[in-house]
Amino acid sequence: MFVGHTGVIQPSGFLSLPCGRYPEASVVDAYQRHPIFLALREPDRLKGKCGRCPFRRVCGGSRARAYAMTGDMLAEEPDCTYEPPAEARANQTPMPP
Ligand code: SF4
């Protein structure tokens, strides 16, 4: 969570998606209930290769970079070189090689 000098509440300084403004809005409520924060804590909502990646629960990629490059904070990480298997997503995170 990032709170700017104007009070704007965002997921991070690099992810400029307003989720309220402190002190009118509670930072605790924003973190716990705002749809943007909720979406960021659901790795199964990730798209593209991040969405099918077996490491999405421990990595998830940079949401700020995905948003900057595509306008969609849930898009696949544009700078990741890993290519996850093409098959449907696995439920368990494998051990790294
Ligand atoms: S950034 Fe790469 S390693 Fe991380 S979840 Fe996305 S595809 Fe997987």
The pocket around ligand 1, CB under 6 angstroms, is made up of 49-50, 53, 55-56, 59-61, 77, 80, 82, 84
| pLDDT score recorded for residue 61 | 98
Question: Is 43:56 a contact under the CB 8 Å cutoff?
Answer: yes
Q: Which helix (H) or strand (E) covers residue 3, if one does?
A: strand 2-3
| pLDDT score recorded for residue 58 | 97
**Substitution site in 50, 58, 63 for ligand 1 pocket (most atoms within 8 Å of beta carbon):** 50
| pLDDT tens for the 97 residues of the chain, in order | 999 999 999 999 999 999 999 999 999 999 999 999 999 999 999 999 999 999 999 999 999 999 999 999 999 999 999 999 987 565 555 655 5
Torsion on CA atoms 50, 63, 78, 69, rounded to nearest 10:
140
**Substitution site in 40, 67, 82, 93 for ligand 1 pocket (most atoms within 8 Å of beta carbon):** 82
Rounded distance between C-alpha atoms, residue 26 and residue 81, angstroms = 38
| pLDDT score recorded for residue 86 | 84
Helices (H), the chain: 27-33, 35-40, 48-52, 63-70
